[in-house]
Structure 1
């Protein structure tokens, strides 16, 4: 049982790291984020939670085996105790989890833009108008930060800021507000094959009144989607015709390693664009570099009418559990929500696929740094060594005939 659980967890960790990794739905994320069973991720991360979960449920397998009854019942009993321990730990952690609001008011904008509609040329002005209307919609209090999702507009930041539409964006904001907008951008580079490099970015746009919009800082996506945003072994794949099959005419370039950005009117924030929110460990945890919150902008419209947006929400919520930081999540049509530092949706308010609107919510205060935030995957590694050692020893003492 222990050897199986350890090898299973090792393969999951490998899947999440090799060739940039694709850690979609690891076993630990089988628990709903924010539930009592999910809270152990604050200690050993989602991989550690998956390791313990797989070991616990696998302990019931010997009940189906032949042989002496007592060892099989002991194994199942230990599985029950482990699952009970996970629940008890999580319940105790949640019993003291108090959401404390900060003065920062955040507006999450979900315009409900289907992917197949977004790139029709005649739709541009309608899409822009929808975002501007939601951004400027009156409320009891003026939001400090407005968040648009990844790839909010079917245009590049270069074209937007060089057109009259930039003035329309500025007009939708009021003095002192900051807009975090997901936009692609191009940067001239003579060494690049196309003469430019392209980035999937998050722009901070601060309205300074008469001085206009201040553009920046800019966060460039670091972990790109293989075959979606770049083509692995691009030169070779282009020569054999794969590029035309996957519809990646030009690769995006990866930005630098993720680091928090400073905002003019809100605490420092760690942006995570789209599936970067699948990866543990992207957010600094030391006192000097730890941000106050995480912003995850994503284009979940790609999923269409599937369970993908809800799965993505659950996975992103584990970053809150692991770091003890709130996560503000904005999508064009997916699940937009504010997630508290324990992985729960604040006030139960969310915008699901097919819904358009805004969520105005106070930014929660961070929880104290978690053990996972301080140690990273060290706890997972220790559990792995213990289980591998114990599992190999037990297997070595088994009956060779079995």
Structure 2
């Protein structure tokens, strides 16, 4: 005999299901109707529980657990690379990741409950509360804006084009409000009619406006730089074995020198392509320096993700996760530019409170024996013979406005974006597909094409509208090259010029609605 669930437990289960539904709206699942789950979460946050405010927070947190469990279950994969020593950490990593990020959703539900908005306009209050907390998720500590609600729309689709004007946070506000409006369809009278009309008009505007923008797309010039993206597809477990360095290096050289109808101007190797420090490979007398020189033709530029070392202000050396530009010239190779990753991954590239962790013996949580050092604030680099480029190394592609903020610091606007990423850490999960979709949103926001190179997939070229070039993709587990001309940059977008100003206006509107409602009730 089974006991019936209490109302409190039914609400908790529904909260988890709401989060899972919203998570499944994101690629590669693509169940965009899942955004209607925001309506269920809004209803749960405003429905009384044993302790109304505490219940709202707990239900929001449970929804967040479901959402982030779907979106970040790939977090277990890095611990399985060395399963014998680190595999036991995998389930704890997922619990900590999803449970920790879910705190922002719990806070959002609490804020919405406290606001006490009524009537159909309350969907905008809910959208403001949730997207404000999503903005906080992208900024608190180092920030982790993975799978923002607005990124549920496939990058390059008509609705995604709105990000060129209000950014991904602004599109998230629209997406959450649209999904939350579904809850109003169960209410009677005028509210239902208003909600139905709002849903239809919003969808029509998203698809109509986006289709119009895409219809004005510019063709790629036949004289544009030809870029070769190299994907070696070497298993992560094998790559880091010292005895495999020569095999890894030979694979990338072989692909780099593969014959083609036209000579590539730029060759791109991904982040973490080689299991070695670039300074050692290029040292005088190194056989790898000679082989690398021979792999390039005169005038060609190789842009490769690499680990490099530099002197530490306190003595010793610092390790950097970098993008290095090497140009083949008559005598050999010359470094024509480099970029050191500015935003590092906590627990992946550095360990917070690392000195204490070393003393406690938990340094093994980080795969490098030493922390990486963050580079200076980012700015475009200008390698010789290459259009100005803003590198986005792995994690940096998650952050809206990263490239335009870099341009405003000096160095001018880049002509393209280059995302080198070691997505091999994700394994054969949804992680690489989600990262691809997220990175493509940076192209839409900035109006710039983005070349993407990863060791094991997904590598591609994406135009300034966020669309992967048709037929130009190396998928998961595929070795190969892509030779493709660099798509044109667009004029600076509204978002690249004004950042999150549009999103700030949306948040202000969300904040004013409950204040106006209270004033009207008071009079």
TM tier, smaller:
over 0.9
Secondary structure of the corresponding residue to residue 184 of structure 1: strand
Deviations 1:289-340 (A, max 9, x none): 1111011000000001101111110000001000000000100012111100
Deviation at 1:347, TM superposition (A): 2.6
Secondary structure of the corresponding residue to residue 140 of structure 1: coil
Deviation at 1:190, TM superposition (A): 6.0
- Distance in 2, matches of 1:197 and 1:72, equals 61
Deviations 1:204-242 (A, max 9, x none): 000012x21011311000000000000112223333333
The residue correspondences of 1:234-273 to structure 2 (distance < 5 A) are 234-273=354-393
The residue correspondences of 1:141-290 to structure 2 (distance < 5 A) are 141-162=262-283, 163-189=286-312, 191=314, 195-209=316-330, 211-284=331-404, 289-290=412-413
Deviation at 1:75, TM superposition (A): 2.2
- Distance in 2, matches of 1:7 and 1:395, equals 18
Deviations 1:226-269 (A, max 9, x none): 00000112223333333234444211000011111112112111
Q: Structure 1 residues 300 and 378 mapped into 2: Cα distance closer, same or farther (>3 Å)?
A: same
Q: 1:78 maps to what in 2?
A: 198
Contact 2:347-2:365 at 8 Å conserved across structures? no
Secondary structure of the corresponding residue to residue 511 of structure 2: helix
Q: Structure 1 residues 95 and 353 mapped into 2: Cα distance closer, same or farther (>3 Å)?
A: same
TM-score (norm 2): 0.73
From the two aligned structures, give the one with the greater helix fraction. 2
TM-score (norm 1): 0.94
Pick from 91, 99, 104 the counterpart of residue 225 of structure 2: 104
Higher relative contact order, chain-length normalized (CA < 8 Å, sep 6+) = 1
Coordinate RMSD, CA, aligned: 1.8
Contact 1:99-1:340 at 8 Å conserved across structures? no
Pick from 301, 304, 307 the counterpart of residue 427 of structure 2: 304
From the two aligned structures, give the one with the greater strand fraction. 1
Deviations 1:328-359 (A, max 9, x none): 01000121111000000113310001111110
Deviation at 1:72, TM superposition (A): 2.6
Q: 1:384 maps to what in 2?
A: 507
- Give unmatched runs, 5+ long, in structure 2: 1-122
- Give unmatched runs, 5+ long, in structure 1: none
Pick from 55, 59, 62 the counterpart of residue 184 of structure 2: 62
Contact 2:155-2:466 at 8 Å conserved across structures? yes
Q: 2:495 maps to what in 1?
A: 372
Deviation at 1:70, TM superposition (A): 1.3
Larger Rg: 2
Contact 1:205-1:215 at 8 Å conserved across structures? yes
Secondary structure of the corresponding residue to residue 303 of structure 2: strand
Q: Structure 1 residues 134 and 60 mapped into 2: Cα distance closer, same or farther (>3 Å)?
A: same
The residue correspondences of 1:337-356 to structure 2 (distance < 5 A) are 337-356=460-479
Q: 2:34 maps to what in 1?
A: none
Deviations 1:162-221 (A, max 9, x none): 2210110010000000000111011132615xx211000010000012x21011311000
Deviation at 1:79, TM superposition (A): 2.3
Deviations 1:15-35 (A, max 9, x none): 011111001000010000000
- 2:334 is the alignment partner of 1:334: no
Pick from 206, 210, 217 the counterpart of residue 90 of structure 1: 210
- Distance in 2, matches of 1:96 and 1:248, equals 47
- 2:294 is the alignment partner of 1:294: no
- How many residues align? The count is 394
Deviation at 1:120, TM superposition (A): 1.7
Q: Structure 1 residues 384 and 174 mapped into 2: Cα distance closer, same or farther (>3 Å)?
A: same
Deviation at 1:99, TM superposition (A): 2.7
